[in-house]
Amino acid sequence: MSALGELLAAGRDRGVYSAAAWSVGDAAATRDRGWTGTRSWGGETLDGGELWDLASVTKPVVGLGVMALVDEGALRLTDT
């Protein structure tokens, strides 16, 4: 297992989350990909074919984009 896989498996073992999946790469290739855990605590083991709800993952990405626009002066935090 990769270092990232070991880190995520350790988080699962500590009870931080029941499951995790990752994919790291660039335009040329996937560098690392995997999954660990169960669908829910005590549930079925992941098989890699699960669908993940990523809605909450987009919030920090949008926040970073907004703050970059603020930093460039294209947007103010007081704008509506």
Burial of 8 (0-12, 13-18, 19+ CB in 10 A): buried
Can you give the pLDDT at residue 25? 92
Can you give the pLDDT at residue 72? 96
Alpha carbon separation from 50 to 37, 55, 59 (Å, rounded) = 12, 15, 22
Q: Are 12 and 18 in contact (CB under 8 A)?
A: yes
Q: From CA 43, how far away is CA 29, in angstroms rounded?
A: 32
Q: From CA 33, how far away is CA 20, in angstroms rounded?
A: 11
Can you give the pLDDT at residue 73? 96
- The pLDDT tens digits for 32-55 are 999 999 989 999 999 999 988 777
Tokens of 41: 């605590």
**Whether the predicted model's global pTM rises above the 0.75 cut:** no
Domain spans of the chain, in order of start: 3-72
